[in-house]
Structure 1
Amino acid sequence: MIVRHDAGRRPGYPAAAAVFAVGMAGTTLPTPLYGLYRQELGFSELMVTVVFAVYAVGVIAVLLLAGNYSDRVGRRPVLFAALAFSALSAVCFLSEGGLPLLFAGRLLSGFSAGLFSGAATAAVLELAPEEKKSRAGFAAAAANMGGLGCGPLLAGILAQYAPWPLSLPFLAHLALLVVACVLVALLPETVDHPERWPRLTPQGVVVPSEARSVFGPSAFAAFAGFSLLGLSTAVTPAFVSGPLGVTNLAVTGAVVFSVFLGSTAGQSLTEKLGARRALPYGCFVLVAGLAMVAGSLVAELLPLLVAGALCGGLGQGLAFRAALTSVAAAAPAEHRGGTISTFFVVAYTGISLPVVGVGALTVALGLRGAGLTFTACVAVLASCTGVHLLRKPLPEQHGG
């Protein structure tokens, strides 16, 4: 049973959304700094993508092992645990102990994101009054994608214009985490009679038969969209400083921020369009964005890359929120949590495996060739998914 305790006298859903945003910002904070790590430690672009992919491994592991844990122990304990993992991740980066600690930092960051994905989203929704549920749903989506976008923007500005480029971004984030801990301590608990640290019960991969016809195309759309997010956060800094010749880290952070800005805007439009239309339209907008990204690599134009990032992010946001809405509506109530966790597992696989492929392709094709191959493959996947959804639209009751 979910209730709200003392909601009128304690911080509400905007405070929970702020905590969510701070936590997610930490997961993308290293994005504009990978070039500096490469100079300092001397590893390849392939290793950059592997370091990034470790993050997705952490997220997927938590989703499978503890995706519904906050339903049992309460939202606040899980939020505190997520903030602790985020702080430990920052400490790993601050220690500058070489590649092993970079891997450890990214893995801990993945644990943090996996815990935040369920607990923070639920807390934001549950703390909102009934008349503000829709606004709270967008607040959760905006906190998620907005936080992911603000991480590289903050790190890029601090690394470019302030001292200690490999330290100050993480010190700043630790300060924000302290504020977030205070907010969590003040938040009311929304789970009635929480258990006291019960044993973990891994839920595995769950897709009930009633949801499979909706889950398939929705998962493909999420995979394609998250592939673009993975490219943006793991490889875009190398694209910007390599083929485009821009070495300003603040610009790099702003380019990555534009993808998540577009995603937030796309998610805000999904409800107006309805999931049934937003899902195929989002796929086609994503394809247009990927075409612009590819064009920017050929023409070496930074404005075209930014336009592609915004457009691709818009399509990703449209398709992602529509896909999530559709999957949640299609799944029976007793399997809804597990089905949504499985959906996120597919999405985070999309953020990791294709990006590692790009890193491997750079060895044979160079950065530009790898980027063009990647955009072509993801565009084909998104196009096929969009065409399929136009020919066989989702059932009206699942599409909103």
Structure 2
Amino acid sequence: MTDRRSGGYLGAAAAFAVCMAGTTLPTPLYGLYQERIGFSELMVTVVFAVYALGVIGVLLLFGNVSDAVGRRPVLLVGLGCAAASAVAFLAEQGLAWLFAGRLLSGFAAGLFTGTATAYVLELAPPGRKDRAGFVATAANMGGLGCGPLLAGLLAQYAARPLTLPFVVHLVLLVLSFAVLRALPESVDGARPLRTARPHRPSLPAEVRGVFVPAAVAAFTGFSLLGVFTSVTPAFLAEQVGVHNHAVVGLVVATAFFASTGGQLLVPKLGARRAIPLGCLVLIGGLGLLALSLATHALAPLVLAALVGGAGQGMTLRGAVGEVAAVAPDAHRGGVLSALFVVAYLGISIPVIGVGLLDGPLGLPDAGLVFTVCMAVLAAASGAFLLRRARALD
């Protein structure tokens, strides 16, 4: 059992990354779906937000179920939802199938985010707990980055661009299922999965003081990634003249990979200081995004992905580390799930707002409104967190 646990956290992280890759797999393909089915940019943002609503619904109802029935059964169900999502995209016969695929993908991500994060931390040997925190958040964001990169490359350079990406993902899901089946359970006294009941995530009293500021920062970071992911393909095609699916996938993936890089800075800074500093970096990324929208230039967009992604990674790892450190063992899965509920609200609400403004203002101006609002929120949350860090020092 010890040998299985010593390296098991890496296997759990690999399955985590595969699941999350499926949630962003359709990103560079939306232009192809628009040509094939025919729908507006607003509908693209709605389809994207349906995913976030699926995540939030699962986190609210089953966010702490893994604390009772164990991590592994919940993650296996999550892989099943991810596979069903891929099948829905393969069987696509209209917009309703896209909604179904995105909703199922949201269910998978909702089951994985908090549970897989807790599972990776718990499987790690005592001497690797700090590294496991990075591995968990890197698997999350790195997996999200691999999705558009893989789909973009296959769509541009391989046959059947709306089929092959999801076939490849199904194969990876089967391998991930086998890996998780071989790993040990990390929850002592776990009950059978059939005893699971809907129950919203709980916040023990000792967690709340840390949770609120960490969640605000996570909301801001995920807002940037959400809007960046949903509108970048259309902006590149309509305003910059970039129609290469591989390039679109690479630009979107850059933000997620930069997030992984930003997480590497957190141990040196300390989680308490990394969150407010991450908010400052986020503001820089938002400024570059605004510059790209205003000038219709590619270079500031790529820089926005790098800078904004790094800031998001700093805030995410800092928030997860701060919250997980104070959460009781019996409630860790539920507390982390509650954190991701707030984070995914950041993906859904601003994305739909940009979609609604696209009609009257146009995509660039709608994006500019978003950047101003998110910069104000990042500045406010960063200032609050920095005062708090200084007060606790």
Category of TM-score, reference length = shorter chain: over 0.9
Q: Is the 8 A contact 1:295 1:304 kept in 2?
A: yes
Consecutive unaligned residues in structure 1, runs of 5 or more: none
1:246-257 to 2 correspondences below 5 Å: 246-257=242-253
Distance 2:71 2:109 in 1: 14
Identity %: 61
Q: Quote the offset at 1:198 in angstroms.
A: 4.1
Aligned position for 1:150: 146
Residue number among 9, 19, 30 corresponding to 1:23 in the alignment: 19
Distance 2:334 2:67 in 1: 12
Residues 340 and 80 from structure 1, CA distance in 2 versus in 1: closer, same or farther, beyond 3 angstroms?
closer
Distance 2:220 2:360 in 1: 24
Q: Is the 8 A contact 1:11 1:188 kept in 2?
A: no
Aligned position for 2:8: 12
1:206-221 to 2 correspondences below 5 Å: 206-221=202-217
Aligned position for 1:313: 309
1:366 paired with 2:366, answer no
Residue number among 110, 114, 117 corresponding to 1:114 in the alignment: 110
Q: Is the 8 A contact 2:4 2:183 kept in 1?
A: no
**SS at 1:97 equivalent:** coil
Q: Quote the offset at 1:279 in angstroms.
A: 1.2
1:343-354 to 2 correspondences below 5 Å: 343-354=339-350
Q: Quote the offset at 1:23 in angstroms.
A: 0.7
Residues 131 and 33 from structure 1, CA distance in 2 versus in 1: closer, same or farther, beyond 3 angstroms?
same
Aligned position for 1:140: 136
Distance 2:6 2:260 in 1: 27
**SS at 2:240 equivalent:** coil
**SS at 2:241 equivalent:** coil
Residues 211 and 73 from structure 1, CA distance in 2 versus in 1: closer, same or farther, beyond 3 angstroms?
closer
Residues 276 and 363 from structure 1, CA distance in 2 versus in 1: closer, same or farther, beyond 3 angstroms?
same
Q: Quote the offset at 1:302 in angstroms.
A: 1.1
Aligned position for 1:96: 92
**SS at 1:202 equivalent:** coil
Could you tell which deviates more after superposition, 132-141 or 50-59? Answer: 132-141
Distance 1:290 1:222 in 2: 15
> RMSD value over aligned CA atoms?
2.0
Aligned position for 1:74: 70
Structure that is richer in helix per residue: 2
Residues 42 and 78 from structure 1, CA distance in 2 versus in 1: closer, same or farther, beyond 3 angstroms?
same
Q: Is the 8 A contact 1:11 1:187 kept in 2?
A: no
Residues 177 and 330 from structure 1, CA distance in 2 versus in 1: closer, same or farther, beyond 3 angstroms?
closer
Distance 2:266 2:341 in 1: 22
Residue number among 253, 277, 282 corresponding to 1:281 in the alignment: 277
Superposition misfits of 4+ residues, deviation over 6 angstroms: none
Distance 1:187 1:332 in 2: 23
Aligned position for 1:53: 49
Distance 1:106 1:283 in 2: 29
Deviations 1:252-278 (A, max 9, x none): 100111111111111121121012211
Residues 120 and 330 from structure 1, CA distance in 2 versus in 1: closer, same or farther, beyond 3 angstroms?
closer
Consecutive unaligned residues in structure 2, runs of 5 or more: none
1:160-175 to 2 correspondences below 5 Å: 160-175=156-171
Aligned position for 2:256: 260
Residues 315 and 167 from structure 1, CA distance in 2 versus in 1: closer, same or farther, beyond 3 angstroms?
same
TM-score norm. by structure 2 comes to: 0.94
Aligned length: 393
Q: Is the 8 A contact 2:118 2:332 kept in 1?
A: no
Q: Is the 8 A contact 1:10 1:188 kept in 2?
A: no
Amino acid corresponding to residue 350 of structure 1 in structure 2: G
Distance 1:9 1:128 in 2: 7
Distance 1:384 1:158 in 2: 41
Aligned position for 2:79: 83
